[in-house]
Chain A
Amino acid sequence: MTDSRPVLTMTGISKSFPGVRALHNVDFRLFPGEVHALMGENGAGKSTLIKVLTGVYGIDEGTITLGDEQVAFSGPMQASAAGVSTVYQEVNLCPNLSVAENIFIGREPRLLGAVRWGEVRRRARQLLTRLDLDIDVTAPVASYSLAVQQMVAIARAIDVQARVLILDEPTSSLDATEVAQLFRVMRQLRDEGIAILFVTHFLDQVYGIADRITVLRNGTLVGEYPIAELPQLALVEKMIGKELDVLERLEEQPRRELAAVEGGTPFVAVSELGRKGAVAPFSLTIHAGEVVGLAGLLGSGRTEAARLFFGADRADRGEVTVNGKPTSLRNPVQAIEYGIGFCSENRRAEGIIPDLSVRENMILAMQAARGWLRPIPRRRQDELVEQYIKALSIRPANPDVPVRNLSGGNQQKVLLARWLITEPRLLILDEPTRGIDIGAKAEIQKLVVQLSDGGMAVLFISAELEEVLRLSHKVAVMRDREMVAQLDNDDTVDAERVMQTIASGSTRKEASQ
């Protein structure tokens, strides 16, 4: 496997942005026929290393060798032509173009100069089948969930005849089944001799597929290790530079008692709430201090259901009561007035305002609620922003940099802070830990527990079942855009049982009626 020479060698790579040293003298090697995990905390420099390699950024110092030649790509197109195919961390597809067009954009099969659209569609379908995804390839990409978009981006990358395949957090919104499917394809490609660079914050995925690990910390190289020589705990230590104990403490957390929070008027109760084409009518109650988890597979309608609670989409049937009073949630402004907050899963399209500073992004929701005539005094802003930069360990800890300059995980934390600052009574968290490193993830989970103990209701969505089970009092299971069951999260519930419920959804539903 590693007897051959590396297909890619990066030596002494340094890259600075104004005020930030993102990479300092980093070496990296990639061998043909291996899956190589690039690990590190949020802001460690993983994405920057990838972008430097593919020519998105120029390098300050260092050399890159691909095969036998020294290279300096001018951008992703050139890199991909040279056999380095990349899926960047933020899915960048053209939202208005169809799935098939997105997959073949820039390299459409042609006949006498004319694009062969039939062929494009047929091959797109074939590719997606390889990833076990059966969708309409003529529909615009924007009409699909983020997870599907991620799969489309992956499909585009693996179709290129590549020597090197780079996947920057490709699995951040995928469920276990899609991950398994992706891994099957990755193994196939690896066995064909392709070198795969894989970034993720999921340790079990690393140990499930990687052959070798390179660890970055704070823009410097910690080391390169064969997977067998670096057990999980040691890896975590290398990543954060110290031992991690929060994680263990969280594991020991007792199951959360539903009885303790249920009873009395629910904060929000919906009955037969639904929206055509998005989610079938469902009923659900959320009490103050209660964490309700939404479980389900990709496209099962979790996000769609959550959006109705926030008025992000308007329900076309059903009733809503807030604090026992009937109402309807027609738009976000109204939901926010009731004290509801919604942290979207799609931070690029629905979350960050890239040009605005970290400070402005954080106070945005609070400011919107106050109205533009009552600006938040600067001193108060500073207090709030400083508090959350510290609480969520956002780096760089500078409130005045544009948020687009932050690493993906740190952007996610900024979004979370935006809603925490508003002190909502119900916080809807759609994949809040997406792309967040394990240390910060544990911190955020702890925070959710703390906040709900303090009386905040939480609607929690995550592709990671363990996380849902760890935090929730109650788990609502979605399947095919229908809520098929609601389980009290007691000792009888575990990931397996939830998976079973998902699999056998319809029978469950009859039983519960």
Chain B
Amino acid sequence: MSEMQEYIVDATNKILKKHVTKELVDASEKGEWSDQLWDVLVESGLVSVGIEEGLGGTGGDATDGFAILRLAGKYAAPVPIFETIIAGWLLADHKVETTYEPISFSMNIESDLNSNDFVLKQVPWGRHVKKVVYIGEINGAFKIAILPTDHATVKLNQNLAGEPLDELHFSGIELEKITQFDVDQQDTFNRVMTLAALGKSAMMAGAMEQVLDMSVFYAGERQQFGRPIGKFQAVQHHLSALTAETAVVLAALNYAIVAFQEGTIKEELPLAKMKISESAGKVAGIAHQLHGAIGMTHEHQLHQLSRRLWAWREDYGNESYWAKKLAKTYIENNDLTLWEFITNEKRGNVNV
């Protein structure tokens, strides 16, 4: 970790620890906007990390962003920090200055925007963001474009974790007049999927670290049969399994991030996202078993993390999506034996 990253991690940790309470997450689920938290994050430059200072950013690189997202996942921060950071990077690719507003992004590879009235489904945090970075076709050409949401009405929807996943009904937008950039479809799709899958992986890793911490705490505190449940071997095995999954998830995440940083990331992305999504479900399940009925209550905090793990493991490709995709390229475009594939240091043979 660079010195700058250590500083960022430390600052983020302090801010999130102070501001993200269970009540804040609850309120966000009821539709409230966490303005105080957002403002602190903006003022500290954490939503504009990985963007050069010339564009209004904080500097640093994407790995700093992933470090922030790991903590955002850990604390279940109820703000569109993932969306804003990644949308910001996509815009910075095209030298668009950052505006410090909450923004979201939406990738559409199924249809073409070709009228002034259209619907974007499942826009994360749609109700609270000022802009949506649209990645998809506009009038038949593949674009990255900025859609201002003041032209949109919102049909509320949410994911498993109660995070906004809204339907935006745009009307009266003149598509020719919005800021937009011609981009290569495949490259852009890959870039968005890479950033987003890594970002969500980092958030899941953080959430798993927190679930492990909560479970260790609970096992030491909750008493049955006259002693802490952590004294029972069956419960210890749950703790061990949680530790193991969290450690292996970090090993997957950290390798993928280094590959990304070195500009060589290829099959590391599906391999890491598959493993992390798989572990997310295991960790959530084991932690609930360990917590007993209290973990099933809204009052307890566990669900704020377990529901996020269940939601996020599906985002930007679950295990099955990436496994099939990798299988297809493995068959079509790869002469390596499995062992060569796994130990291949000069990646690049298998393009996913």
B and A form one assembly: no
Chain A residues proximal to chain B, CB less than 8 Å: none
Chain B residues proximal to chain A, CB less than 8 Å: none
